Amino acid sequence: MAFDLDLIQKVYAEMPGKIQIARQLLGRPLTLTEKILYSHLDKPATSILERGKAYVDFRPDRVAMQDATAQMALLQFMTCGRDKVAVPSTVHCDHLIQAKVEADKDLQVAVDSNKEVYDFLSSVSDRYGLGFWKAGAGIIHQVVLENYAFPGGMMIGTDSHTPNAGGLGMIAIGVGGADACDVMAGLPWELKMPKLIGVHLTGKLNGWATPKDIILWVAGKLTVKGGTGAIVEYFGEGAKNISCTGKGTIGNMGAEIGATTSTFGYDESMERYLRATSRAAIADLANGIKEHLTGDPEVYANPSQYFDQVIELDLSTLEPYINGPFSPDLATPISKMKAAAEANGWPTKLEVGLIGSCTNSSYEDISRAANLAEQAVEKNLKAKAAYTITPGSELVRYTIERDGYIDTFGKIGGTVFANACGPCIGMWAREGADKKEKNTIIHSFNRNFAARQDGNPNTYAFVGSPEIVTALAIAGDLTFNPLTDTLTNENGEQVKLDAPTGYELPTKGFAVEDAGFQAPAEDGSSVDVKVSPESDRLQLLQPFPVWEGTDLKGLKLLIKAKGKCTTDHISMAGPWLKFRGHLDNISNNMLIGATNFFNEKTNSVKNELTGEYQGVPDVQRAYKAAGIGSIVVGDENYGEGSSREHAAMEPRHLGVRVVLVKSFARIHETNLKKQGMLGVTFHDNEDYNKILEDDTFDVLGLTTFEPGVPLTVVAHHADGTKDEIQVNHTYNQQQIEWFKAGSCLNVIRKEFGV
């Protein structure tokens, strides 16, 4: 049994009481989201937690990590001195498998080429009590839905599509590895109390319309930013009419509107799914408290009183959507696609249709797509475009093979890729993509940014349901509307595809031979965690040094960054992904994307020791070798973008002591604090202009470092003059302890006597 029934029992036992306290505190009925959030607080609330304003500490029930992000999260965790993870946690090997030929061959290549990373993740999981899902077991979110998600639970995951678990009524949120590390170490997890968007679904999907079309429609309505800082709660009769995995699809793609997460109230579709995936015990428990696993009836009767925004959608009227190209919120109803393609000059010949991924690879999705493939065979149609299938898990793959669907796909020329991310994350060795030709593909994944699937910025990638992807792959034409259009078959006859049919769940039940799960050792203390000192992909972490107890003197300016400086500018992705588990190697990308204010160039800053211009990491390494600290100066919203902790760990590792900016993106600011860096902001933004290239800096006030008390940065100019600059900080007492100890992890280490 992969899931933890005791944990769920405990959550459910405490939930009604906690919800009642929250109801009294707020003096009104509660949404489902509020029920889950208030029942997962670190400390009981004593006042209303204001949405969009209050920073709140939560206690998530679970952590899940995918292989690309798990490496640094676990390397950090290993240094904290804990013997075991504090909450149930899992690792999923899904991102590092390239789709090239077909499942078995591609998987073998990945197993060989990533051996040391997989061995590390496997042994560290064994050692510290994490469940480990091997390469080929499936994609994190599908595996979580099948095994770990439970109604009313709260989890975090180191991947932005973690909200997929909202399909089973969870609050499931994507985070960076440092957050995962903290929660595994037993710390609470902080989140700004989200705003609430309610989506009221009425009616019932019919014909070609699918759950995917709901989220494609919502994305069109709210755009890629519309859900920022909000949790989307779906409710109404329409929601009950959607399968659990269909709800997962909607939750998953909620990431594309920037939502913190999305969720649904517990209903019979969830009960059916729990029972079908061998979790009848959870369904029984959930049935026992089901009124607490959905919003209060008064909320849904009068939603505009309780949600910050309410959207209405009648599913009976919804038609299929195709979103794209290049953005998942560019929504076009299928009946308007022909006109839109013409108006925009989109290439209409369809080269490839790809179904599956973590977003759309349920049994229901596959059976409905296979129904269309079967119809194509019966009606003497050949698929004009290439067609690929990426199952989300071995459980699904094994079951659909048993039920003949893989054979059916084979009859229209379909290729089955490994149960992994593959083309969704650009791990697709697509033949000819390097020629960068203009072409069109359609997939049932979630993101379609330029170059995301095949590295070719001229690939026009559209997103649709697996059913629409299949129909269009058969037609080989982006503008084909299967609801109204006919196709010419091999005999020259006009034939029409019927609306797809399928099965919500396998009638013979799910089956699998080897799901790919490795349970951790009962007592992992003797497990040897494998990290070769020669490895260029993995490196054990050393604790960062403690603060020396004095003001900082004689710092050199590393870079005064001009304009936008996101986490991508600070720690680039792309080819650097390979080094996500090796802090020293990945530090060679530190700030190489930032623009130097003084020469407007990237990766070219003055080495104050030699007067020469060199790359940023080279200069910083020279300062480090000379035992000299440095300062990074930045502009507004410094560190926006992803939550990757590498953007804070790299400067810390290379000896940067201070980051002084006009303003921070909040997550990056927290990451800096966690890594023991000093992140401060100009009191007067005009002082940014006082920073000169040859300055040397002192930071004063650290011996009396206190919350709310500004510090002083003295900029000593080369001409002998100086400017005293007041700088503000947002460190609370706990965070000041992190700074003094050298990092948050060092504080935890102390607690565990390391």
Least separation, in Å, of the C-beta of 615 and ligand F3S? 31
CB atoms inside a 10 Å sphere around CB 746: 23
Distance (Å, rounded) from C-alpha 86 to C-alpha 104? Answer: 36
Among residues 370, 349, 299, the alpha carbon closest in space to that of 30 is found at 299
Least separation, in Å, of the C-beta of 621 and ligand F3S? 33
For ligand F3S, the binding residue among 352, 358, 660, 677 (CB under 6 A) is 358
Binding map of ligand F3S across residues 77-96, x = CB under 6 A, - = no contact:
-----------------x--
Least separation, in Å, of the C-beta of 422 and ligand F3S? 8
3 state SS of 462: strand
Task: Specify the DSSP class assigned to residue 267.
Answer: -
Instruction: Reduce the secondary structure of 165-210 to three states and give it as a string.
Output: HHHHCCEEEECCHHHHHHHHHCCCEEEECCEEEEEEEECCCCCCCC
Give the CA radius of gyration of the chain. Answer: 26
Q: Classify residue 625 by burial, with Cβ atoms within 10 Å: 0-12, 13-18, 19+.
A: exposed
CA atoms within 13 A on the CB side of 629: 19
Distance (Å, rounded) from C-alpha 33 to C-alpha 258? Answer: 17
Among residues 9, 357, 329, the alpha carbon closest in space to that of 152 is found at 9
Q: Is residue 350 close enough to count as binding ligand F3S by CB under 6 A?
A: no
CB nearer ligand F3S, residue 85 or residue 253: 253
CB nearer ligand F3S, residue 183 or residue 358: 358
Q: What is the total count of residues that contact ligand F3S (CB under 6 A)? A: 13
CB nearer ligand F3S, residue 21 or residue 577: 577
For ligand F3S, the binding residue among 357, 371, 448, 479 (CB under 6 A) is 357
- Answer yes or no: are the C-beta atoms of 244 and 170 closer than 8 Å: no
Residues 418-447 that bind ligand F3S (CB under 6 A): 421, 424-425, 445-446
Active site residues: 94-95, 159, 447, 642, 644
CB nearer ligand F3S, residue 37 or residue 140: 140
Q: Is residue 383 close enough to count as binding ligand F3S by CB under 6 A?
A: no
CB nearer ligand F3S, residue 423 or residue 581: 423
Query: What length is written for the chain?
Result: 754
CB nearer ligand F3S, residue 95 or residue 729: 95
- Answer yes or no: are the C-beta atoms of 32 and 12 closer than 8 Å: no
Distance (Å, rounded) from C-alpha 713 to C-alpha 728? Answer: 10
CB nearer ligand F3S, residue 428 or residue 739: 428
Binding map of ligand F3S across residues 120-149, x = CB under 6 A, - = no contact:
-------------------xxx--------
Least separation, in Å, of the C-beta of 162 and ligand F3S? 9
Beta strands at 605-606 and 613-614: parallel, antiparallel or unpaired? antiparallel
Least separation, in Å, of the C-beta of 716 and ligand F3S? 48
Angle, alpha carbons 502-506-507 (nearest 5°): 95
Least separation, in Å, of the C-beta of 68 and ligand F3S? 9
Q: Is residue 161 close enough to count as binding ligand F3S by CB under 6 A?
A: yes
For ligand F3S, the binding residue among 67, 146, 159, 568 (CB under 6 A) is 159
Least separation, in Å, of the C-beta of 270 and ligand F3S? 21
Distance (Å, rounded) from C-alpha 484 to C-alpha 482? Answer: 5
What residues make contact with ligand F3S under the rule CB under 6 A? Answer: 94, 139-141, 159, 161, 357-358, 421, 424-425, 445-446
